[in-house]
């Protein structure tokens, strides 16, 4: 078996957009995706879902409000892990500081 290990310095890829949340794909292949999100204070990732994958969220910097299907917001900060079930609606809102988090999903349905 060939070695396919890949390393990425996650924090080197943080980019903010002043008008909307920024999402940076760090890795995408047929088996999964790793996406880095950066939100300015008050920015919101509107409610949506990932129908075929759990959504694994790791907060890297700052604090934000994470809501699942029950729409109850939970304040999470650095080093917190949240796992959202496949198909569960969820939304994210940055608190009063920059928020940076990593999302890891299984599979990439549109990957060619």
Asked if residue 40 is part of any domain, the answer here is: yes
Secondary structure element (H or E) that encloses residue 62, with its range: none
Asked if residue 92 is part of any domain, the answer here is: yes
Domain limits for position 46: 15-106
Residue pLDDT, tens place only, 55-112: 999 999 999 999 998 999 999 999 999 999 999 999 999 999 999 999 999 976 666 5
In angstroms, the Cα distances linking 86 to 28, 62, 67, 68, 108 are 18, 26, 14, 11, 13
Residue pLDDT, tens place only, 35-52: 999 999 999 999 999 999
Based on the structure, what is the number of domains in the chain? 1
CATH number at residue 89: 2.60.120.10
30: left (phi over 0), alpha (psi -120 to 50) or beta: alpha
pTM: 0.91
């Amino acid at each position: 078996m060939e070695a396919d290990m890949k390393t990425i310095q996650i924090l080197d890829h943080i980019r903010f957009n002043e008008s909307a949340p920024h999402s940076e794909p760090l890795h995408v292949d047929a088996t999964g995706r790793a996406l880095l999100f950066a939100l300015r204070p008050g920015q919101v990732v509107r409610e949506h879902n990932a129908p075929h994958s759990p959504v694994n969220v790791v907060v890297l910097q700052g604090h934000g409000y994470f809501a699942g299907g029950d729409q109850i917001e939970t304040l999470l900060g650095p080093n917190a892990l949240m796992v959202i079930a496949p198909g569960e609606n969820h939304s994210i809102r940055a608190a009063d500081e920059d928020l940076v988090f990593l999302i890891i999903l299984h599979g990439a349905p549109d990957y060619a």
